[in-house]
Amino acid sequence: MDNRDEALKKIKDEVISLSTSPLFAYRTENKYLPVIGEGNHFAEIMFVGEAPGKNEALTGKPFCGRAGKILDELLISIGIDRKDVYVTNIVKDRPPENRDPLPEEIEAYGPFLDRQIEIIAPKVIATLGRFSMQYVMSRFALEWELSSISDIHGKVFDAEPNGTKIKVIPLYHPAATIYNQHLLGTLKEDFQVLKTLI
């Protein structure tokens, strides 16, 4: 087993037994699974969403519902196979009623995402949604660039965590297109930008 596989499995094991998480009781009461992430452990692109929904919590797989189908179509539109990227969320357990993640939940799970980024070492992080955008950009000392997602979606930001060059591109969450159809065209355009980065 590769070191990356082992390191990522260790994260999974730790999240499964994270009884101090504010979402641990909700997960176990509902027999949900934590959603750690999936894809290529050597991916050049990592997608970071916010938190799993019900479908994800039932299967343990990220982006497997309607939003996941949209993400798959967007990847196909730029000639990238989903198995070649890595897909995860900041929060690894489903919040009740699919509500937005709370600051204490982001705080509890954020360090696991930090480790995933470090292990996989992607060239590009595409954030999906505003919570992901805020977390990743703040983490990489880009908070001074932060604005509303409607202002900075599709823009590329350069960061150098630990001296390693990485590009961050904020994107709308695919789920947003379910309720707002015109955002799909915007996301398709932003994915064309994403294609130029690898």
Pairwise CA distance, residues 103 & 42, whole Å: 30
Domains, the chain? 3-195 (3.40.470.10)
Residue 27 has pLDDT above 90, yes or no: yes
Reduce the DSSP state of residue 49 to 3 states and report it: strand
Mean pLDDT of 154-177: 93
Question: What do you get for the CA distance between the two ends of the chain, in Å?
Answer: 27
Pairwise CA distance, residues 116 & 33, whole Å: 18
Reduce the DSSP state of residue 116 to 3 states and report it: helix
Looking from the CA of 39 toward its CB, the CA atoms found within 13 Å total: 28
Pairwise CA distance, residues 64 & 139, whole Å: 27
Looking from the CA of 57 toward its CB, the CA atoms found within 13 Å total: 21
Split at pLDDT 50, 70, 90, the class of 98 is confident
Reduce the DSSP state of residue 38 to 3 states and report it: strand
CA dihedral sign, ordered 10, 13, 16, 22: negative
In the sheet that holds 45-49, the strands lie side by side as 38-39, 86-89, 45-49, 124-128, 166-171, 157-159
Give the pairing type, strands 86-89 and 38-39.
antiparallel
Pairwise CA distance, residues 146 & 148, whole Å: 7
What is the pLDDT at residue 164? 83
CA Rg, the chain, in Å? 16
The predicted-structure confidence for 104-137, as pLDDT tens digits, reads as follows: 999 999 999 999 999 999 999 999 999 999 999 9
Determine how many CB atoms are found less than 10 A away from the CB of residue 188: 14
Split at pLDDT 50, 70, 90, the class of 85 is very high
Reduce the DSSP state of residue 46 to 3 states and report it: strand
> Residue 136's closest CA among 168, 165, 162?
168
